[in-house]
Structure 1
């Protein structure tokens, strides 16, 4: 076991411990709150911005749209956050909080594995696969194998999306936003 293995192990253990402490509900709803907040901010920013202009709260249209986005995004984030808190409280009251935390640990482990995969791929990109740092690693091949197992469990259309992303990244095809 080398220094690279210790780094990978630390990443997995920190993610697992964080997931175990916070629970699955908090992890899922935190992500949903961020994505939902941004999505609703984009969806409602113009309506809220116009309302701020009509009520003479803000005079500049650009600033009113920015403020409209922030109001919508923050409101959605807070609402989803409180829904998460309510569900966690319900789980605790029916003595099922341990399941939430156990599943959170599993989710944390998966997140740690994915982060380690990104680290392994990044290190291989910069120092090469033949570097003793990577070549003598015990965990790096296991992380790559674990990633491939997770990827096999993913829906079929994920591969198509990843291929499309790769084509766009390499500049082979122009994005079609229509």
Structure 2
């Protein structure tokens, strides 16, 4: 086990602790709100932006679309977070508390792994990529963590209507 593996384990452990403390419902509804908010905003910001631009002629259509994207995304994400808090509080004193905490642990594990994967991917396309490749050779966890981000992205891209490139195709555009 290398020093890089220890860093990954610390990050994942912190997310697991956070997941247990927040619980399944707060974590799931919060993440769901973000994902659904992003999908809805991507698919509906132009329609709302055109309505805003026609109602408020003092703002440009581009600004109206930006504002509409932000309003849709933030609104849906906040609604998801609020629902998560309500369900979490409802489970606090019931038999579902164990399920809430256990599910939070699992989601924390997934979130921590995803964060580590994103950091690794960013490092491999950065100017430090030669050093990162050396560090990864001695790491047990890094090869597995590298696969988490692309797996999640490709799964989400398959849910979003329209053309979405596979993760590795998009990543090739940024390689130095």
TM over 0.5: yes
**Stretches of structure 1 lacking an aligned partner (at least 5 in a row):** 172-178
1:94 aligned counterpart, secondary structure: coil
User: What TM-score do you get using the length of structure 2 for normalisation?
Assistant: 0.63
1:99 deviation in Å? 1.9
- Show the 5 A alignment for 1:18-167: 18-56=18-56, 58-116=58-116, 126-127=130-131, 140-141=139-140, 143=141, 164-166=166-168
Aligned residues: 157
Deviations 1:45-78 (A, max 9, x none): 2332233334337442222222222222222122
RMSD, matched Cα: 3.8
Alignment partner, residue 161 of structure 2: none
1:27 deviation in Å? 2.0
Aligned equivalents of 2:22, 2:114: Cα separation in 1: 19
**Stretches of structure 2 lacking an aligned partner (at least 5 in a row):** 159-165
Aligned equivalents of 2:11, 2:136: Cα separation in 1: 16
- Contact 1:52–1:58 (8 Å) recurs in 2: no
Deviations 1:8-62 (A, max 9, x none): 3312221211111112222222222222222222333233223333433744222
Deviations 1:109-140 (A, max 9, x none): 344345556667858x53376x5x666x6xx3
